[in-house]
């Protein structure tokens, strides 16, 4: 048996023991709540970052258009 098979075998034995005892391994409600809150904050920060990036890129695109109009006006 290789070194990688041992953790899998131990996990399988642990799960079998938990099922045989009639109780499944479930995280506590407080841990689930903490994970949910952290996930929600992470999603909010990602959406906020994407929104700020979108606004910056849109302003940059607008300023490039204005600069093009100035160049055309100078040539005419």
Q: Is 28 helix (H, G, I), strand (E, B) or coil?
A: coil
What pLDDT score was predicted for residue 52? 94
Task: Indicate the number of domains in the chain.
Answer: 1
Domain that holds residue 46: 5-74
Matching residue, tokens 């490039």: 64
> 66 and 73 in contact (C-beta within 8 Å)?
no
Rg (CA), the chain: 28
Q: How far apart are CA 75 and CA 58, in angstroms?
A: 26
Reading the chain (76 residues) residue by residue, the pLDDT tens digits are 566 667 777 777 766 665 555 555 566 678 888 899 999 999 999 999 999 999 998 888 777 666 655 555 555 5
DSSP H or E run through 8? helix 5-20
Q: How far apart are CA 52 and CA 50, in angstroms?
A: 6
């Amino acid at each position: 048996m290789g070194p990688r098979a041992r953790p899998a075998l131990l996990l399988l034995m642990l799960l079998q023991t938990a099922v045989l005892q009639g109780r499944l391994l479930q995280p506590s409600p407080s841990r689930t709540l903490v994970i949910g809150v952290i996930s929600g904050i992470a999603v909010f920060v990602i959406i906020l970052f994407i929104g700020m990036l979108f606004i910056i890129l849109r302003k940059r695109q607008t300023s490039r258009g204005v600069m093009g109009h100035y160049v055309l006006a100078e040539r005419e």
